[in-house]
Amino acid sequence: MSGRKVVVALGGNAILSKDASAAAQQQALRDTAKYLVQFVKQGDKLIVSHGNGPQVGNLLLQQAAGSTEKNPAMPLDTAVSMTQGSIGYWMQNAMGEVLAESNLDVDVATVVTQVEVDANDKAFTNPTKPIGPFYSKEEADQKRQENPDQTFVEDAGRGYRRVVPSPIPTGVKEYRVVNALVDAGIVPISVGGGGVPVVKEGNRLVGREAVIDKDFASEKLAELVDADLLIILTAVDNIYVNFNKPDQKKLENVTVSELETYIKEDQFAKGSMLPKVQAAIDFVKNSNGGKAVVTSLENVGEFLENGSGTIITR
């Protein structure tokens, strides 16, 4: 059982619930760390990834409120790297504390990760991912005039929001660094917030105003480091079909082809469960015999003891 290489992708709810203060997010991560350390206790080689949606949104708000000519707001790729650093600091600090309490002498390190995307990805001409604050129509029109390259759309009747591209990751620049840390017995935190989106231009990697889905980035990392297991944590213990209907069914052991059939039936919500299911399928298809698991943070103990959760195999 032990010695597996495991990539665990944390949902945003593992870090931020309602209180956006640093103290509250640090406390949430201490609670999260208690679940994650169970993998280390049983001898697994753990790699952690995480989302940053609420944090990068809040940072953009703070920047917009304080931006001046002499102290301008940073571009989105830089904001993603800033939240990778801050969340990584909180997470390595929290895990260090819980590891020490468990008498485990294991180091945790954050890798600020650049994730490669294709400059010709059609997402760049069709931005869909809402980020940052809500604006009135007048405010959105003014923002458009100030930033002609930015796109604003109405979001669910709640106002106008900026939308940015969400390209598919093609590579993870630092995957060898992550592997080196794992080989040295260190727990790496990587592809935070989906990683900083970069495109290759000759010898340069150039940041792009985009955000990458953290489940797809985690899948790409898991593939490149040859992980045995990709665990995508979400708000529910299992994936369901006919969700919230009288005949809802919990999926426990499921194959790629069964999931592909359910996708054709529109069983999974586009903005929430569908990308997780697609990332799980991609990993199982592209890995060397690896499995994917979708479950909740609270169910990690049950998964480790009894294999509880939705387990996806070829």
Question: Is 254 exposed, middle or buried, given 0-12, 13-18 or 19+ CB atoms closer than 10 A?
Answer: buried
Query: Quick one: DSSP state of residue 155?
Result: -
What pLDDT does residue 2 have?
Answer: 56
Asked whether residue 159 is domain-assigned, the answer is no
Asked whether residue 90 is domain-assigned, the answer is yes
Asked whether residue 141 is domain-assigned, the answer is no
Asked whether residue 266 is domain-assigned, the answer is yes
Give the pLDDT mean for 130-136: 82
Asked whether residue 139 is domain-assigned, the answer is no
* pLDDT-wise least confident of 268-272, 281-285, 293-297: 268-272
What pLDDT does residue 104 have?
Answer: 97
Give the pLDDT mean for 231-258: 95
Asked whether residue 153 is domain-assigned, the answer is no
- Assign residue 176 the CATH number of its domain: 3.40.1160.10
Question: Mean pLDDT, the chain, as a whole number?
Answer: 93
For residue 69, the enclosing domain spans 5-54+62-116+169-312
pLDDT of 1 above 70: no
Catalytic residue numbers read 12-13, 129, 214, 276
Strand segments (E) across 192-267? 196-201, 204-207, 229-234, 239-241, 249-251, 253-255
Give the separation between CA 45 and CA 209, rounded to whole angstroms: 33
In this structure, the number of other CB atoms found within 10 A of the CB of residue 303 comes to 21
Distances (CA, A) of 267 to 47, 93, 277: 30, 39, 11
pLDDT of 172 above 50: yes
Q: What is the pTM of this model?
A: 0.93
Give the pLDDT mean for 28-37: 95
Asked whether residue 148 is domain-assigned, the answer is no
Report the domain count for the chain: 1
Asked whether residue 126 is domain-assigned, the answer is no
